Structure 1
Amino acid sequence: MFTSTSSFAQRPGRRDLADRVPDSVQLVADVPYADSDNRRQTLDLLVPKAESDKPRPVIAFIHGGAWRAGDKRQALPRVARFASSGEYAAVSIGYRLSGEAQWPAQIHDCKAAIRWIKANAEKYNLDPDKIGVWGTSAGGHLVAVLGTSGGVEAMDGSLGPHTDQSTNVACVADFFGPTDFLKMTEGALPSSRFDHDSPQSPESLLIGGAIHDHPEKVATANPITYITDDDPPFLIVHGSADPTVPFNQSQLIHAALQEAKVPTTLVTIEGGGHGRGFPPETNNLVRRFFDHHLRGQESEWQDQSLEASEPRVRRPR
């Protein structure tokens, strides 16, 4: 049993976990990747039960929650559909939250998880060179940093027993992740949920003080800081009416990647909110993106806009 100083209210039990994973998929739950007994520093691995004559590519998901909430198990249904296809293995990565540890602890955890995947690739028949990462909100921020900071010693950290492994990833799906904390206020809508400049904002709590008082540390959390022309391809998806993470955050990293000649596609969900109103086509784009970069099923990519879907109306019971 792994323990943590963080609270896990209503944590799913083993039976609940089984309900989240198809029978065709093996779940290896709560695997420690950092040589610790902190349950936040664990991952869940989903591997198809059917044998494969070649190593499978991996989709690693990182959850959101403003770096101060959320649980890796929330993502199991989302990634299980990839593993159930038999064509991918999938991983959901946990990490320490800002109430327990400040930046860069979160990216150090995620990098250690990537190293664990590569070090255990042969055991689980995984392709260590075909790891795609996907995250939403705070998780989108973390996968963006994973994508741009491979080999940056200060971001790689030294957690876990597999420091001989690279932290490079093959592609990045960044869903509405923050990318430049100091420019969030200027892009915020009147309906914004947060005063991003407040000492109590999620960004400030992650950094350990009001963001404008710590610009140098904030720069280390900005994935744009590390962009080079050899970074992996990005798929960026964001709602234009996001009240939580301003849409300009995706525009900023997209422009910076373009300037560096890194393959990048920005999908705007017109009228979409913070992960709300995303039409079904969004999931198809994610699948096609990973198929393109991890399975060699090439397709054309260009920036595009999709109309937000109508919110589902709850029917009275």
Structure 2
Amino acid sequence: MRPHRNLLVILLFGSFLPLVQADNTSREDGYDRINNVEYGKVGEHRLLLDLYLPHDVEQAPLVIWIHGGAWRRGSKARMPLLFLVKQGYAIASVDYRLSPTAKFPAQIHDIKAAVRFMKATAAHWKVSADRIGVAGESAGGHLAALLGVTNGHQKLEGDIGVFPKESSDVHAIVDLFGPTNFMTILHQSTPHGLSVRVPALELLLGARPEKIQGLAKLASPVEHVNKKDPPLLMIHGDQDPQVPINQSHELHAKYKHLQLPVLFHVIHGGFHGGDNFYQDEPQQLITTFFNTHIRQN
């Protein structure tokens, strides 16, 4: 690995020169990793992403990765999709404002800003902006699904970043054990699940979902599904103690009702995350799904 510090890239867009900044880049086995690329700013809070760019690939298909952590912790440093990078995909692993810092919809505003940034700067990174995928796990799975089913939703678009006219649309969704309906999740939860989910949702929304139903529904992917939504792959463990598998069943049923392309893979005996979600079979499912829906042949 050869690190290069204080990377500063200047890009020309139209009549102005925005600065695209990153802390450092390193050359890894088969890809370059560019750390802490600034895609937006809220006050003094820098919004950052890490890029994984495969070597010797022009117009690499792009997947946005969204980390989990109950919306209140976690970071872009966790990025379990290197198997896609090794097959020629570029990955943008995105940090977003966490719930102790900002309430919903700040999180989805940030993610949509990251998509707009990547589309606007795609030529520089040599990635394809034509068709973009998104994937996430747990809270990140929720945000991935919400991003995908709210293409063009102005209330959730936000105004972060310097590319407000870019589209934040994505074209394929991978949701790994993410919540999909904040109005039903607490009723479906075990006592252990409630001990995790109630404080997480109160911190994210500002109150329990039943006390703030308008915002809870706005944050629920199942409330937004329509006939124009992109293909969806869901992977969930049937023993998940934190996000009940019924959450994925609900979104799956919405897609099936509208005859939208959807795949739902159950990890039998699977809990809330773990290595079994990234072993050979799930890896192949994810790879085939993105090859089908975003890879340009």
Which TM-score band applies after superposition, normalised by the shorter structure? 0.7 to 0.9
The answer on 1:246 being equivalent to 2:248 is: no
What does residue 314 of structure 1 align with? none
Q: Which letter maps to 2:287?
A: R
Q: TM-score, normalised by structure 2?
A: 0.86
State the SS of the aligned residue for 2:155. Answer: helix
Whole-angstrom distance in 2 between the partners of 1:81 and 1:247: 26
1:228-272 per-position Cα deviation (integer Å, ceiling 9, x unaligned): 101000000100110011111000011011112221111111221
- Distance in 2, matches of 1:169 and 1:194, equals 34
Select the residue among 261, 268, 271 that pairs with 1:270: 268
**Number of matched pairs:** 273
1:259 — aligned with what?
257
Q: Distance in 1 between matches of 2:86 and 2:296?
A: 19
Letter in structure 1 aligned against 2:210: H
Unaligned residue ranges in structure 2 (runs of 5+): 1-5, 7-22
1:247 & 1:79 partners in 2: Cα distance? 22
**Conservation of the 8 A alpha-carbon contact between 1:129 and 1:169:** no
SS at match of 2:108: helix
The match for 2:74 among 62, 70, 78 is: 70
Secondary structure of the corresponding residue to residue 288 of structure 1: helix
Distance 1:51 1:169 in 2: 21
Superposition deviation, residue 190 in structure 1: 5.2
Query: Which is strand-richer, 1 or 2?
Result: 2
Equivalent residues of 2:67, 2:76 under 8 A apart: yes
CA distance in 2, matches of 1:214, 1:295: 40
Distance in structure 1 (CA, Å) of the matches to 2:98 and 2:282: 28
Match of 1:24 among 30, 48, 54: 30
Preserved contact between residue 79 and residue 91 of structure 1 (Cα < 8 Å):
no
Distance in 2 (CA, whole Å) between partners of 1:80 and 1:195 is: 29
The runs of at least 4 aligned residues of structure 1 exceeding 6 Å deviation read none
- Asked if 1:212 is matched to 2:205, the reply is no
Q: Which runs of 5+ in 1 are unaligned?
A: 2-13, 298-317
Cα 1:83–1:195, aligned 2, differ >3 Å: closer, same or farther?
Answer: closer
1:197-252 CA-partner distances (Å, limit 9, x unpaired): x4xx2112100112211011101101112111010000001001100111110000
Partner residue in 2 for 1:302: none
Structure 1 vs Structure 2 CA RMSD: 2.0
Kindly provide the CA deviation profile for residues 119-167 of structure 1, in whole angstroms up to 9, marking residues without a partner as x.
0011112111221100000000000011000100011111111111111
The amino acid across from 1:125 in the alignment is K
Corresponding residue number in structure 1 for 2:51: 45
Aligned partner of 1:172 in structure 2 is: 173
